[in-house]
Amino acid sequence: MTVASELSYHPSADGDLAYRDTGTGDLVVLVHSGYADHRVFDEQIPALAVAGYRVVAPDVRGHGFSANASEPFRWADDLGGLLRHLDAGPAVLVGLCMGAAVVTDTVLEHPELVRAVVVCGAGTSAFEYTDPWTLQRAGESAALLAAGDLDGWVEAFGRNAAGPHRTADEVAPHVVRRLQEMAAHTLSKHTPDEPDRHTPLADPWSRVPQIAVPVLAVHGALDASDAIAMADRLARTVPDGRSVTMEGVGHYPHMERPEEFNTLLLDFLRTL
């Protein structure tokens, strides 16, 4: 369990943003998925640090140990502000699902701060959800929140890690439990009537061909089809992109098979 003493804080204009900072060397930034926090990368942070990288894992605004938004904000500006605060770039940005959108927004808006991008489970911040399983899960999630059933929402959130091709019992219990713990923590920071102050980029897909740095998309073969398609579209649209598939895992491949994911990531980093 993370305690405050393990985290650093970037004093943004709208509250302190938490991040974990460890290791020395070229900078790699790990950006978590929605409702989670930096702890989703607990198996990646030490492995990258031991391999000779400085690893920073922030909590996105409104998540984990970071401040909630009290005014409109953009993901790219929050992460860009942190990178300038660290004065250690340009960085390799690694993003999972929502985090993929955060890092893609950042390379579009602040390209001078980024030397490569890795995405998993999404592409840009213009999410394109088409898989019937995804749409059904989203509807069920919204219904649970509307009914005030927060415990039911957290339970469903963790079990959705199985994806459309497995049952939750086929996912390691510790993966489900950790996701539920992080989601419960983030959810506790918010109220049902709280406005969404995140300001999305306008039409980011039209700007993707401008991304001049290498891009790697890592797919869990058992993930929803739309999650795979968004990440693959990003890798196919940039000038220097490629995709790799991990078999037998879903939306959180780095948690289900951390050693395999770490090897893929380190192999990519060594090409830069």
pLDDT digits (tens, 9 = 90+) for 187-245: 999 988 899 999 999 999 999 999 999 999 999 999 999 999 999 999 999 999 999 99
Distance CA 231, CA 43 (A): 22
Geometric angle at alpha carbon 218, from 216 and 224, rounded to 5°: 135
Give pLDDT < 70 ranges for the chain: 1-5
Structure confidence at residue 138 (pLDDT): 95
CATH number assigned to the domain covering 4-130+197-270 = 3.40.50.1820
- Tokens, residue 161: 């890690």
Provide the pLDDT for residue 3: 46
Q: Which of 10, 1, 150, 22 is nearest to 66 (CA)?
A: 10
pLDDT of residue 265: 98
Predicted local confidence at residue 76, as pLDDT: 96
Q: Domain spans of the chain?
A: 4-130+197-270
| Cα–Cα distance, 173 to 257 (Å, whole number) | 13
Alpha carbon distance 216, 118 (integer Å)? 5
